[in-house]
Amino acid sequence: MSVTDTSPTVKIAADLTRTPAPEHKDVVFDVQDVGVSYDGNLAVREVSLPIYSNEVTAIIGPSGCGKSTFIRVFNRMNDLIPGAKVHGKVLYHGEDLYGKEVDSVEVRKQIGMVFQKPNPFPKSIYDNVAFGPRVLGWRKGLDERVEEALRRAALWDEVKDRLKKNALGLSGGQQQRLCIARALATEPDVILMDEPASALDPIATTRIEDLMHELKRHYTILIVTHNMQQAARVADMTAFFSVDIAPEGDRTGILVEYDETSKIFTQPSDQRTEDYVTGRFG
Amino acid sequence: MRVGFQKGLDRLEASIHEEGTLAMRSLRGALNALVQQDEELADEVIAFDDEIDARYLAVEEGIQELLARQTPVASDLRLVLAMLHINLHLERIGDYCVTIAKLVKLAPPVAPDRMFVDAFEEMGARAEEMIRVALDSFAARNLEQAEMLVDLDELIDRANRRFVQQVLSFGRDPKLHEWGLRMIIVSRCFERIGDHAVDIGERVAFLVSGEFREFTDASHSDE
């Protein structure tokens, strides 16, 4: 502090016991009464929630609660599954994601996805990242594009000297970051991650989590995770899904609670959330 | 269900209640030493504080291990945080009892007026009641009972103010003056024990409701 600095060194908060409500950014997805059914059986029922831009939103819940099914709604991956049907409305920046004129390939360019198991192509590191841009016909400045994507995925320093080597020679954690780089190369707006760290060791997991903090400056991130502490560490907002079992035995995923992550892990509003996060579920 | 975790929580809570019982024993000993001017008993109270401190440390270590290994969240997290604070408040109560015991030894041996003895007995009994109410409200997760501590605190505060007035009305006897000065600190110790009991009540309210608020705010009160 300089001598001329007259700013007070002690600031007195008006109310020390309250933290101000965090301000959300724009709504990227406005999910309205969305359900998913397979061959007429409801897998996820009537979910409504907003997804905010430049935040990490985690989806947690027990096995079979439909969290993976739900995240696939956002890039129309369910279109690829025979018999799958999405009900309700998903607005993406105000536009109907399931509108007749919307091209699902174009959607998947905007909304990238990273899966549980790293799935690089059996090609070079470079070709893996360049694949998407090439498919889209973006030939100009490809080297720069590949480098930028690898940098953003925090992998560049580790692979810059072996870009032509086979991607399958990378470690599991590196392969997963390569898959993130591959998703970033097509300049998406949103990245969906389905259990991105569940096959990785703790150190590789930490790197992916750190990366999420970094990436949310540029992208909106949705993550499905089994690991509640991971959600607590990385997410700004958390949605808790549970399973509703009908008397006839039909199991349907339902959204129980959606709130700030800190609220979910300190004062959840719903007893079912409380039971799940404290480990008293089942 | 995380059986080991639940057992750990239960054990810690039981330890807190035992620590509370020790603190109340210390308070009773300090009060008896005071009204009976019993220096030997005062020494016992001072030595007894080691037991409270040992319990305090054991609870603190248990909480540390639970945080490191079990990552409590939601109501479990609030319980652990409440216990962390209650543990410290009980340890502080023990310290005030030690201060009272030390002042018993330091004060000149004057035979105080019966009204001073009565005042001490009143404050001691009120402080003891407040600790009991605080711990009962914790055991029962009873918000209403915890909030009762505010009214009880007002009574002990008043008793403390009355005591100070009485000391101020002393004559010119220097021995009596010294005794009065030391006894004002004793009175203040009882009053502070009451404050710690109120703070325990606030932690109980936080545990039950999920919201932390001070029952009374000394820096914004009317007085």
Instruction: For residue range A222-272, list pLDDT tens digits in order.
Output: 999 999 999 999 999 999 999 999 998 889 999 999 999 999 999 899 999
Interchain CB contact of A7 with B (< 8 Å): no
pLDDT interval class at A175 (50, 70, 90): very high
* Residue in B73, B213, B214 closest to A277 by CB: B73
Are residues B123 and B160 in contact, defined by beta-carbon separation less than 8 angstroms? yes
Which of A 234-273 lie inside 8 A of B, CB atoms? 265-268, 273
What pLDDT does B213 receive?
Answer: 85
Interchain CB contact of A13 with B (< 8 Å): no
What pLDDT does B1 receive?
Answer: 58
Mean pLDDT of chain B: 93
Distance CA A237, CA A59 (A): 9
- Contact call for B74 and A228, based on CB within 8 A: no
Interchain CB contact of B64 with A (< 8 Å): no
Residues of B in contact with A17 (CB under 8 A): 212-214
Are residues A86 and A35 in contact, defined by beta-carbon separation less than 8 angstroms? yes
The number of angstroms, rounded, from the C-alpha of A154 to the middle of its chain's C-alpha atoms is: 17
Name the residue type at position A209. E
- Contact call for A266 and B74, based on CB within 8 A: yes
Are residues B149 and B215 in contact, defined by beta-carbon separation less than 8 angstroms? yes
Distance CA A91, CA A107 (A): 12
pLDDT interval class at A19 (50, 70, 90): very low
Contacts of A206 (CB under 8 A, 6+ apart): none
**How far away is chain B from the Cα of A279, in angstroms, using its nearest Cα?**
6
What pLDDT does A21 receive?
Answer: 54
Q: How many helices (H) and strands (E) does chain B have?
A: 6, 0
State the average pLDDT over residues B125-135. 98
Residue A166 CB-density burial (10 A; 0-12 exposed, 13-18 middle, 19+ buried): middle
State the average pLDDT over residues A191-201. 92
**How far away is chain A from the Cα of B84, in angstroms, using its nearest Cα?**
16
What share of chain A has pLDDT > 90, as a percent?
78
Residue A5 has pLDDT above 70, yes or no: no
Which of B 185-214 lie inside 8 A of A, CB atoms? 210, 212-214
Are residues A69 and A78 in contact, defined by beta-carbon separation less than 8 angstroms? yes
Interchain CB contact of A274 with B (< 8 Å): yes
Residue A6 has pLDDT above 50, yes or no: no
Q: Give the residue from B6, B75, B217 with the most A CB atoms within 10 Å of its CB, the best one to mutate.
A: B75
**How far away is chain B from the Cα of A14, in angstroms, using its nearest Cα?**
12
Distance CA B220, CA A31 (A): 46
Residue A1 has pLDDT above 70, yes or no: no
State the average pLDDT over residues A146-168. 95
Nearest partner of A175 among A236, A103, A107, A125, judged by Cα: A125
Distance CA A200, CA B38 (A): 68
The owner of tokens 């959600």 is A231
Distance CA B141, CA B139 (A): 6
Residue A212 CB-density burial (10 A; 0-12 exposed, 13-18 middle, 19+ buried): buried
Distance CA A121, CA A181 (A): 13
Q: What is the pLDDT of residues A125-143, one digit of tens each?
A: 999 999 999 998 998 999 9
**If you measure CA to CA, which chain B residue comes closest to A282?**
B1
State the average pLDDT over residues B137-161. 96
What pLDDT does B174 receive?
Answer: 80
Distance CA A87, CA A73 (A): 10
Beta-sheet strands, E only, within chain A: 27-38, 41-52, 56-60, 84-92, 95-96, 111-114, 190-194, 220-224, 237-245, 251-260
The overall longest dimension of chain B from CA atoms, in Å, is: 69
Interchain CB contact of B78 with A (< 8 Å): yes
Interchain CB contact of A6 with B (< 8 Å): no
Residue A200 has pLDDT above 90, yes or no: no
- Contact call for A17 and B72, based on CB within 8 A: no
Say if strands A84-92 and A27-38 run parallel, antiparallel, or are unpaired. antiparallel
Bridge partner residues of A192 (DSSP): A113, A222
pLDDT interval class at A16 (50, 70, 90): very low
Of A196-200, B37-41, B169-173, least confident by mean pLDDT is B169-173
**How far away is chain A from the Cα of B107, in angstroms, using its nearest Cα?**
41
* Residue in A17, A229, A268 closest to B74 by CB: A268
Nearest partner of B26 among B124, B157, B155, judged by Cα: B124
What pLDDT does A104 receive?
Answer: 86
Half-sphere exposure for B164 (CA within 13 Å, toward CB): 12
**How far away is chain B from the Cα of A262, in angstroms, using its nearest Cα?**
9
Residues of A in contact with B213 (CB under 8 A): 17
**How far away is chain A from the Cα of B194, in angstroms, using its nearest Cα?**
22
Residue B104 CB-density burial (10 A; 0-12 exposed, 13-18 middle, 19+ buried): buried
Residues of A in contact with B75 (CB under 8 A): 274, 278
User: Bigger pLDDT: A170 or B1?
Assistant: A170
Half-sphere exposure for B94 (CA within 13 Å, toward CB): 26
Rounded to a whole number of angstroms, the CA Rg of chain B reads: 19
Residue A147 has pLDDT above 60, yes or no: yes
What pLDDT does B69 receive?
Answer: 84
* Residue in A17, A229, A267 closest to B74 by CB: A267
* Residue in A17, A228, A266 closest to B77 by CB: A266
Q: What is the pLDDT of residues B103-127, one digit of tens each?
A: 999 988 877 778 888 999 999 999 9
Q: What is the pLDDT of residues B58-102, one digit of tens each?
A: 999 999 989 988 889 999 999 999 999 999 999 999 999 999 999
Mean pLDDT of chain A: 89
- Contact call for A267 and B210, based on CB within 8 A: yes
Name the residue type at position A107. V
Interchain CB contact of B14 with A (< 8 Å): no
Q: What is the pLDDT of residues B199-215, one digit of tens each?
A: 999 999 999 998 888 88
What share of chain B has pLDDT > 70, as a percent?
97
* Residue in B75, B212, B214 closest to A278 by CB: B75
**Gap between the terminal Cα atoms of chain A:** 56
What pLDDT does B221 receive?
Answer: 58
